[in-house]
Structure 1
Amino acid sequence: MTQERALKTRASLLAVAATEFAVHSYAAASISKILDDSACTKGAMYFHFTSKQQLAGAVCDVAAEVYSAIAVRWCPATGMDPLDAITGLVDDAAQAFVAEVAVRAETRLGFEPEFRDRNPLRAWEAAALDLAKRAVESSLLREGFTAEKFVRVLSVSLVGNRLLALSSGLPATIRRDYTESLDMVLAAAGKP
């Protein structure tokens, strides 16, 4: 297999597998359907991935790359109001959920026992925490509302939005829903 062809085969397998995992979950995802939809042979799949679990893990890695790129874009956002940077971080995550099937798949895979420890959102959450700490240092959050609490409440709310979006067929309202979640957390954490 040539290098270019191998890269195309791997990319095709990842894209189709991400769709399968996003729609059907890990347990219900069918390797046969992934192979049919990607037009890849079983041998080609096993050249790249030794198992369905490794394939799903690679999909999580793609989602982690997306979230890492968002984190790099917004943190460190020196000279920018940290709450404005958090708004950008949240909006980019909403856009990624719509645009990147691996991000949608990661949402579903994250609830599977095999993938609970992977946390593709690690870089995104670290960026949000860094920005929230800057907000605390700048006295932009209510006293007693820690950066950790801010990020924890925001993250849980966004996970809920992603799960609702998956269960309802990816509504076009995800960006609005993310914005509303951020607005509620900001209202709770903001200075009176």
Structure 2
Amino acid sequence: MKVIAGEVYHIYNRGNQKQQLFFDDRNYGYFLEKMVEYLVPVTDILAWTLMPNHFHFLVQASKLSAALIYDRQLPISNLSEALRLMQCTYTKGFNAQYEKSGNLFHQKFKSKIMDDNKQENARNVLHYIHWNAEKAGLVTRPDDWAYSSYHEYLHPEITGFCNKELAMQILDLTRQEILLGGSIV
């Protein structure tokens, strides 16, 4: 993944052969721990959701995100390495817990840069991320899904993982517009 500082990316992946990634609160919590350990230090998260068999992030890359690590066969960005480590360490823990082996995630993660119509595309992705569980029929309202940044915007006193101020600035949206946006997707 080529990472450009200042650009916004939609990053996602799913379980290998669409298998389930998260079975209970411990699984979701463990993945969030890995997210805090690897992803949060290198990028600004604007929105996220964890679904039973996939995840989504909307991030803005920083200079640190785009910086290359050269001590390998091919250089890799800090953001790509963080995502690789997050998935790899989650897989190791998951496989140990469930006495499994092999790949848990579908190859490597996917990423899409929000280059054309950046603001509009990023807005649509943010709303898609927040309303994903409701559209999938897992809940009747997005605030019923515990594993999403929707709660961070719903309750501004929650620190959470997102840089909410940056998201509102980049997307030119108020907190209320972020919360109600699912109806326009």
Higher strand residue share: 2
**Which protein shows a greater Rg?**
1
Higher helix residue share: 1
Larger relative contact order (CA 8 Å, sep ≥ 6):
2
Decide: shared fold, TM above 0.5: no
